[in-house]
Amino acid sequence: MPSTHPIPIQTNLHTRSSYSESSPLTSMSRNNSLTYRPLKRSTPSPDKTIAIINASGRQAASLIRIATAVGYKVRAQLRNLEGVMATEVSTNPNVKTFVGELYLRNKPDDKRDVTVSGHLPGITVHHNLISQLFNGAQLAFINTTFYGDEVQIGEAIADAAKKAGVQHYVYSSMPDHAAYNSGWPSLPLWATKHEVEKYVRKIGLPATFVYTGIYNNNFTSLPYPLFCMDLQSDGSFEWQAPFHPDAKLPWLDAEHDVGPAIIQLFKDGPGKWNGKRIALAYEYLSPREVCEAFERGIGRPVHYKRGPIELKVKIPEGYRVQLEALEKLFSKDNKDPKKQPPYFGDAELESRCPEDALALWEGPRGLEEYAREIFPLEEEANGMTWMLEEEAYEGPPDENEDAVGNGAHEAADDDGDDESLDEGLIMRGLKRDEESWLA
């Protein structure tokens, strides 16, 4: 049970990044280093503090790196100190960390899954931690997750921010698709964010709402659902998902581009952005185009296969329910790409990709660059060795009607692969924290 009096963690000189210590990331081309990517408007060092929750998530960690580099102070909540991102945040000298969950269990022996959507009797909000987090903060970046009652926690955070006099509150929101079309199912983890956004507007916080695209960093050859780049026996990759191969989706390199964009929102302030929604995505690509970009980046054939979401590893219950709803929303039975629901629910908002994002930050990292320079590093950190093998690609895969690659056509029928992995599978390499692929 988390302490009701979280102890600030001693901060030390930052010595670790999100990648392994041997990572060549810092010696890469200028297009990949924030050293060569200054914010587009030079201003004096700010004298403000940002409150941030779920600080080991990709969005928050990106902001913390940039914010502390240009002079902001940060008060950051971490669920725990596990993982390289949590280490990075907790050892940053400009970050004061508060370790603990945003929820509390009334009974110490309560072992229920707190990711289940909806109200959970006996699970309350950690008001003391939230209050401490906002003490002395003028700005806030809030990306709630499904640990605990997300709506209840989101409302409590907004109340605390208003009480503390926060001047600009940036909330990472997502849509409730059913609010735009009654024929579309709600995605549980997004519908809760929609409810929190409504509450933030209701209480009159000076706020901006960012809607983030699909993370480039979601892709992995580990058997995680929805964004598995499955390594084939011939050295090629295959991505299977329910999205129509020709329907465009918004994409974002969360680690690289969230931070600079949010900093610009803070610089411009609520006078420019109060009450507005931002489509934070720098590319608008179909699954077919995504695979083409990946293929150019890694120099190997990459094919898209439209099919069901395969669950091969144990995942949080809340995320499992989300995936079930997503599979219904983006039904593989829909043959018309124009009829696929907008990822952001609101077609007008989605039409502003990538213009909204480029108005904030002009130096994004696209999928091709990510695939070329970052994907192999993350794969190696997770214990993969394919990028070290010298064997050349041996030719095209066996004929498969459902494979969609460069110039291939979608088939009418789709037989999913029922092969499953043992639940006790141990994955080598660095732990892929849930925050990393959910936030």
Question: How confident is the model over 84-93, as pLDDT tens digits?
Answer: 999 999 999 9
Instruction: Give the pLDDT score at 421.
Output: 27
Distance CA 305, CA 417 (A): 11
Contacts of 389 (CB under 8 A, 6+ apart): 235
* 302-306: strand order across its sheet: 229-231, 237-241, 302-306, 403-404
Task: Summarize the confidence of residues 324-342 as an average pLDDT.
Answer: 95
Where residue 15 falls among pLDDT bands split at 50, 70, 90?
Answer: very low
Task: Summarize the confidence of residues 262-269 as an average pLDDT.
Answer: 98
Instruction: Give the pLDDT score at 115.
Output: 83
What interhelical angle do 127-134 and 150-164 show, nearest 10?
A: 40
Task: Summarize the confidence of residues 353-363 as an average pLDDT.
Answer: 97
Provide DSSP, 233-287: TTS-EEEEESS-TTS-EEEE-HHHHHHHHHHHHHHH-HHHHTT-EEEE-SEEE-H
Lowest mean per-residue pLDDT among 115-124, 236-245, 377-386, 414-423? 414-423
Take residue 56 and report the two structure tokens written for it.
Answer: 């080991």
* 249-252: strand order across its sheet: 214-215, 249-252, 283-285
Instruction: Give the pLDDT score at 120.
Output: 80
Q: What is the mean pLDDT of the chain?
A: 84
Take residue 220 and report the two structure tokens written for it.
Answer: 């992995």
Q: 249 pLDDT exceeds 70?
A: yes
Q: Which helix (H) or strand (E) holds 386?
A: none
Take residue 416 and report the two structure tokens written for it.
Answer: 């999913």
Q: 339 pLDDT exceeds 80?
A: yes
Q: 130 pLDDT exceeds 50?
A: yes
- The closest of 81, 375, 380, 76 to 255, measured between CA atoms, is 375
Instruction: Give the pLDDT score at 415.
Output: 34
Q: 429 pLDDT exceeds 60?
A: no
Task: Summarize the confidence of residues 266-274 as an average pLDDT.
Answer: 98
- The closest of 63, 72, 81 to 6, measured between CA atoms, is 81
Distance CA 353, CA 248 (A): 11
Beta-carbon count within 10 A of 278 CB: 22
Distance CA 404, CA 426 (A): 31
Instruction: Give the pLDDT score at 22.
Output: 40
Task: Identify each DSSP E strand in 53-110 by its residue range.
Answer: 73-78, 95-99, 103-105
Residue scoring higher pLDDT (403 or 319): 319
Task: Summarize the confidence of residues 49-71 as an average pLDDT.
Answer: 97
Take residue 194 and report the two structure tokens written for it.
Answer: 């929609």
Has this prediction a pTM greater than 0.85? no
Q: 19 pLDDT exceeds 90?
A: no
Instruction: Give the pLDDT score at 40.
Output: 56
Take residue 248 and report the two structure tokens written for it.
Answer: 């465009």
Instruction: Give the pLDDT score at 112.
Output: 85
Q: Domains along the chain?
A: 35-438 (3.40.50.720)
Q: 1 pLDDT exceeds 90?
A: no
